[in-house]
Amino acid sequence: MQLDDHAEELASALGVDKEEVKEDLENLVQYSVPLDEAKQSIRRKHGGGGGGSTPSSKDVADITTEDGSVNVTVRVLTAGTRTIRYQGDDITIREGELADGTGKVSYTAWQDFGFEAGDSITIGNAGIREWDGKPELNLNDSSTVAMASEEVDVEYPVGGDADLLDLEPGDRGRNVEVQVLEVEERTINGRDGDTDILSGVVGDESARLPFTDWDPHTEIEEGASLRIEDVYIREFRGVPSVNLSEFSTVTELASPVAVNDSAPKLSVREAVDSGGMFDVEVVGNLLAVRDGSGLIERCPECARVIQNGQCRSHGAVEGEDDLRVKGILDDGTDTVTVVLDADLTERVYGGDVTDAKEAARDAMDKEVVADAIREEIVGLEFRVRGNLSVDEYGANLDAEEFAESDDDPADRARELLAEVGVTEVKA
């Protein structure tokens, strides 16, 4: 690092004039004062304190959660804006990622320091806090931000544009170009009472993901192709979801965004190992239909399945009849619990809730419905497409599509051969 850079960083950290600091530094170094000592004495002169708590300059890769505070010169990769409620007040924060030549780090800025994605900046006295086991920079009242004299080279994409497939929970300040595939208006009971929001599904050529717009934008309509800037990503039932806020901007695109209609086809093991996927397709044998399938009762308040008229949250309730299947699907690599909703269950059962109740009444046993379903599907091979969530209760695949596999074993053998690079030899 050049003396000039040290001066700039120090001036920024102390919030004083760079030229003055540089002159002092030059003088001290000229008199053979070691650089660190020289910087220390300049800090003292400006009331920056001389103790070990003074921040030191660090490469991003060297920042640890043990650091109290640091000075860094970095490139702003992303800059998202969000309002959070902190100790009863709404605070607008900026958040995203910063990088230098050695690595990248997340940050939260508790005020607007005026920097944008792409800027090269020197941050003085950034606090370090631990977030998800990793250090994160905390820019607060005692931090300073100055434009760096030179652009900081980084090996990461700058600006925040991303394909849906690449988004991960925790990402902020991202920009996507998507087609709105589904959208519905909902009223939720939020922190400020009843609030209208939009939720649905967006897609691009890489993937489909659920989204929530917390401050409904009028451009969001089914079929619209949009560029959406400044979204943040949260985990929703084990998959990333795109979140729009009052700070997100939505622009209609002149040409439609292409959407991939098919879901990624994975083995059950691959799908489960991914930790959850919004849209995935697996093929396997239906080994068994689990208890809690067939004719079930749900709590009218929370829609949870209830036993003997007792909801775990709401006590004794008048249950509402519903149909559901929880089946165990196995493809040889692993198993997953496939959950069929009422519509799909009606199709495999061949009747609706009324038919099921009638059958249960005739037999004086609810279980006849599940038994009838078992007879229809256990032992057969199915292609299942849906939303996979993986949590401490196991892997659940909420089926959107559930169809008997029409895969010809010979076809599959050919596919496998093609995958391993063997070209089919025609007889």
Given the rule CB under 5 A, which of 29-37, 188-196, 296-304, 360-368 is the region that contacts Zn ion? 296-304
- Give the list of residues 6+ apart from residue 252 with CB closer than 8 angstroms, or none: 219, 224, 225, 226
314 touches Zn ion (CB under 5 A): yes
Instruction: Report the candidate in 10, 130, 397, 41 with the shortest Cα–Cα distance to residue 238.
Output: 397
| Per-residue interface string for the shown chain with Zn ion, residues 150-189, x marking contact by CB under 5 A | ----------------------------------------
Distance between CA 22 and CA 230 in Å, rounded?
38
Given the rule CB under 5 A, which of 62-70, 286-294, 309-317, 373-381 is the region that contacts Zn ion? 309-317
When CB distances to Zn ion are compared, the closest residue is: 299
310 touches Zn ion (CB under 5 A): no
Given the rule CB under 5 A, which of 191-199, 205-213, 277-285, 291-299 is the region that contacts Zn ion? 291-299
311 touches Zn ion (CB under 5 A): yes
| Token output for 129 | 């806090």
Query: What is the closest distance, in whole angstroms, from the C-beta atom of residue 177 to Zn ion in the complex?
Result: 41
296 touches Zn ion (CB under 5 A): no
Q: Which amino acid is at 1?
A: M
| Binding test (CB under 5 A) with Zn ion, winner from 185, 222, 301, 407 | 301
Q: What is the DSSP string of 288-335?
A: EEPTT-EEEEE-TTT--EEBTTEETTTEE---EEEEEEEEEEE-SS-E
> How many residues bind to Zn ion according to rule CB under 5 A?
6
- Give the list of residues 6+ apart from residue 155 with CB closer than 8 angstroms, or none: 99, 101
Query: What is the closest distance, in whole angstroms, from the C-beta atom of residue 303 to Zn ion in the complex?
Result: 7
| Binding test (CB under 5 A) with Zn ion, winner from 27, 142, 149, 313 | 313
Binding to Zn ion in span 234-273, by CB under 5 A: none
| Binding test (CB under 5 A) with Zn ion, winner from 13, 76, 299, 377 | 299
Contact set with Zn ion (CB under 5 A): 299, 301-302, 311, 313-314
